Amino acid sequence: MTADPAAAPAPSDFVAPAAPLNAAPAVEGSPSAPSGAGAAAPPRDASLPGPAAPPAPPPRTLNASEVGYLEPPRVSYPSLSRRLGEQGRTLLRVRVDATGHPAEVLMASSSGFTRLDEAAVAAARRTRFRPYVEDGAARAVWVLMPFVFTLEESP
């Protein structure tokens, strides 16, 4: 029994043409893509959101003296570090939000002693800054905060 071509099902109203196997999609600005005034942009779907606003610039980095303190950092020298003679300098990067609160504390450089670094981080988190104002509006900024731990020798 052979199939009768006349008995084949009727084609549907719309048949999508098959894409060639080696065809790459057209890219804007490529030689195969239409460009210039002759190319029409596809209609935008009104239900989709429009183009996103450009991202806000990252916060500037300032020294702590450029921002000022409402509550200055109060660091306590860890007693065990004092007994062991640990000394060093910890430099922190603190993201200060528009209200003057430390929102994020990052270690820029370590003193080399965990106890000293932890004391510096705790002091930075308790610090309250004067909000940084630029163009009449309070803005978030990064502040560099150095903490120097030195033991003084008694005479």
Sign of the dihedral through C-alpha 81, 82, 85, 86: positive
Q: pTM for the whole thing?
A: 0.61
* Structure confidence by residue, pLDDT tens digits, 129-153: 999 888 899 999 999 999 999 998 6
* Structure confidence by residue, pLDDT tens digits, 49-95: 666 666 666 777 777 778 889 999 999 999 999 999 999 999 999 99
> What does DSSP assign to residue 121?
H
Half-sphere exposure of 19 (CA within 13 A, CB side): 6
Domains annotated on the chain, with CATH:
68-149 (3.30.2420.10)
